[in-house]
Amino acid sequence: MQAAIALLILWASAGAAEPLPPSPGLVAGVRRVEPPAFARWPALVDPDEPVAAVLAIALPLTQAAPEASVSWHWPGEPAVAVPLAGAGAQLQAMVRVPKAAGQHTLRVQLGEAAYDLPLRMVPASEPWPHAALRAGCPVDAAGAPVLLVTPRATAMQDRRWAWLRPRPRRPEGRPLLVGDPLAAWGRTAWEGLAAEQRALAPERSITAATLVALAQLPTPLPRTIVWSPGNAPLADGDWDPSESRLMLALSARLRALQAAPRLVLALPPWPLSEAARALAEQRRRTLAAVARSSGWRIIDLARAAGPPESAQRVGERAYAPYPVGAAQDRMRALLAGALADDD
């Protein structure tokens, strides 16, 4: 026993001669700084309108000097510099996107480090490089942001000169349904329909997801393509009018492929919320106007389903996200008619 105590005293005396490491709470932390990156960008752009993307830059916890700044520029353009004083841990800035289509690189200078951020602007008539979504925005296979440059609606000019151009033939491939399948109560409005179905999650970014879904068109090309935008873009009490440009983009791509499938816009049923219904009316008008001006046919699922208070009701004060039962059957029948081969 005495030997054990002596050994313990000897060990304690030897250890006391070595300084203890500092407490982790007294050591300044070093945060891992992510490289600058584009955080958000529009999926569909008009070449005649100014467009901006959101640039996110993570900053070190400690600035080297009060006058330190971060700057960025496109090749051949003057740099934009922003002071870092008071910027906090992250800086977000709007960056004007070039108007010309092509491969672009934004040079970001953060202290001594320089970063090159790629960005692709692709004419809608050319092959679409969309491979996936990042934060709800489309990227190519290398992860670079992709902006699709859409033409303006020129239906009047197209009709005026159509007789001078050979008319593209309607393809013979299987019809294609793409977008929101309007799922409710364990079923969808697409159930049992004779078409290839590319069903997308009903999220706010469903239009960008549709671009990814249509980047690889079936072979042979579909005889009919039906786009179902659904109501998810209204979920946050707002909507993006540029989503209607998807119809212009797809029309331009098919013209470049010398194909003329029947293109159908399936206007969604009315949302249950009264607050969302006014926004839905504005959105439906915009979508329908662009559809008419670009040669798309329109089917109105809201008219087929009827009032949402009855179409979505599943019980006492209980409602599904989309129409159910007989209302869902009527929407399905309308979609089946749009997919039919008779002209």
Residues whose CB is less than 8 angstroms from the CB of residue 300 and which lie 6 or more positions away in sequence, other chains included: 267, 334
Write the pLDDT tens digit of every residue in 230-246. 999 998 888 899 999 99
Share of the chain above pLDDT 90, in %: 67
Task: Give the pLDDT confidence score for residue 237 in this predicted structure.
Answer: 82
Q: How far is Cα 280 from Cα 234, in angstroms, rounded to an integer?
A: 7
> What band does 205 get if pLDDT is binned at 50, 70 and 90?
very high
Least confident of 3-7, 164-168, 297-301: 3-7
Per residue in 172-192, pLDDT (tens digit) is 999 999 999 999 999 999 999
Q: Say what the pLDDT of residue 11 is.
A: 46
Contact (Cβ atoms closer than 8 angstroms) between residue 179 and residue 322: no
Under a CB-based contact definition with an 8 Å cutoff, are residues 171 and 223 in contact?
A: yes
In this model, does residue 69 exceed pLDDT 50? yes
260, containing H or E segment: none
Mean pLDDT of 244-259: 96
Alpha carbon separation from 77 to 51, 112, 252 (Å, rounded) = 16, 20, 31
The identity of residue 225, as a single letter, is I
pLDDT, residue 156, reads 44
Which of 24-28, 64-68, 91-95, 316-320 has the highest mean predicted lDDT (pLDDT)? 316-320
Q: Looking at the predicted structure, is the pLDDT value of residue 125 above 70?
A: yes
pLDDT band at 161, cuts 50/70/90? low
Q: What is the mean pLDDT of the chain?
A: 87
What is the pLDDT averaged over residues 267-277? 93
Rg of the chain (C-alpha set)? 28
Write down the pLDDT at residue 28: 57
At residue 128 the predicted structure's pLDDT band, cuts being 50, 70 and 90, is very high
User: Among 106-115, 128-137, 206-215, 298-307, whose mean pLDDT is lowest?
Assistant: 106-115
The predicted pLDDT at position 8 comes to 43
pLDDT value at 101 more than 50: yes
Q: In the numeric block, which tokens belong to residue 333?
A: 């029948």
Residue 84 has what pLDDT? 73
